[in-house]
Structure 1
Amino acid sequence: MKTLLTVMLCLFSLSTTAQNNKYNISSFQEKGSRAPNTHYIGDAWLRGIVEANEENGFNVTKAKFKANSTLDWHKHSTPQVLIYLDGAGYYQERGKAPIILKAGDVIKCGADTEHWHSSTKYSDVTYLAIYSTATPTVWTEVLSQEYYDNVATILAQ
């Protein structure tokens, strides 16, 4: 009985110690803030999940675009990884044909590769963007509604 009591007291003290540890927990489920409408067409929300600091040199941002919304052409000085969580979106690198990416897809865009990505014409899209903040994004060219509509038409066929 004495041994059982000792074991119970040890387990209780370990469980209370474990409960007192502080963790910095956030949720990527939250919608985020509406993005300023400067380098895209449509409606977009951004939620910073991880911010670059001395311990890690990358950001993780959740982006949610309503259907018929797109970013302008841009590039990053380091690679960018896009992880599609929900919906479907268009993706294109300069000199290549556009493609459709959907929930579960992961694509890596190389450093200094000019590209754009968006929702599709009829589907919202949510993705995680992993990238370095070594230098700011370079916005290279406006992606017109006419160009976007033409991509949507070609890929829908």
Structure 2
Amino acid sequence: MKRNIKRALFITGLVGIAFSFLACNYTINNEKVTDMKSNEEELDFIFPKGNLGPKELFTGNAYNIGLVDIDDVYTTAVGNVYFEPGARSNWHTHPSGQILIITDGVGYHQIEGEPIQIIKKGDVIKCPPHTKHWHGASPDTGLQQLYIVPNTENGIVDWMEAVTDVQYNNIK
């Protein structure tokens, strides 16, 4: 009787391990697929990734896709930027300011002369007109943000120097 109980517990344990393994890994057309939800580093992409930003304006890989084209009716630019871990913009200003809506991940935002802010999903950041600032992902986690630039008839963005590693790592 004890032997049958031990055998049943052993088989139950093996079945549990098998189901746990199958929940995370399976094959399609003989290719192993890993359940992406098990990786906490993965972000939930709402919009297409977009085009890689120029190295002259970003440190690391940042991808931009415009969502609302600039025109003379709405005079507002809207887009999505995905920053890979460690990626960041150069310092810059916007003639009419900028609003950032963080849709996923963890990142940093800094206005010149102020401490770095940690930003995350659900945060809304207002960058006042003509205020020098930068933003990007944290070292370990990517960041997705919607940007809104109003009154585009006044200009969009004035790019400046790169954010140094010392500035980026100056978290207090």
Which consecutive residues of structure 1, in runs of 5 or more, have no partner in the other structure?
1-27
- Aligned partner letter, 2:162: V
Following superposition, which runs of at least 4 residues in structure 1 exceed 3 angstroms of deviation? none
Displacement of 1:135 after TM fit? Answer: 1.5
Displacement of 1:142 after TM fit? Answer: 2.0
Deviation string, structure 1 residues 124-157 (Cα, Å, up to 9, x no partner): 0000000033214112332112321x22xx34xx
Pick the aligned partner of 2:140 from 93, 112, 122: 122
2:161 matched to which residue of 1? 141
Deviation string, structure 1 residues 94-138 (Cα, Å, up to 9, x no partner): 111111010000011100011010100111000000003321411
Matched-pair contact (CA < 8 Å) for 1:41–1:145: no
Which consecutive residues of structure 2, in runs of 5 or more, have no partner in the other structure?
1-45
Count of aligned pairs between the two proteins: 126
Distance in 2 between residues matched to 1:139 and 1:95, nearest whole Å = 18
Displacement of 1:36 after TM fit? Answer: 1.7
Is 1:92 aligned to 2:113, yes or no?
no
- TM-score, normalized by length of structure 1? 0.75
Deviation string, structure 1 residues 14-35 (Cα, Å, up to 9, x no partner): xxxxxxxxxxxxxx52111111
Work out the percentage of aligned pairs sharing the same amino acid.
33
1:74 matched to which residue of 2? 92
Matched-pair contact (CA < 8 Å) for 2:61–2:84: yes
- TM-score, normalized by length of structure 2? 0.69
1:22 matched to which residue of 2? none
Distance in 2 between residues matched to 1:107 and 1:147, nearest whole Å = 20
Give RMSD over aligned pairs.
1.6
Larger Rg, first or second structure (1 or 2)? 2
2:83 matched to which residue of 1? 65
Distance in 2 between residues matched to 1:97 and 1:140, nearest whole Å = 19
Matched-pair contact (CA < 8 Å) for 1:91–1:118: yes
Is 1:52 aligned to 2:70, yes or no?
yes
Distance in 1 between residues matched to 2:62 and 2:101, nearest whole Å = 17
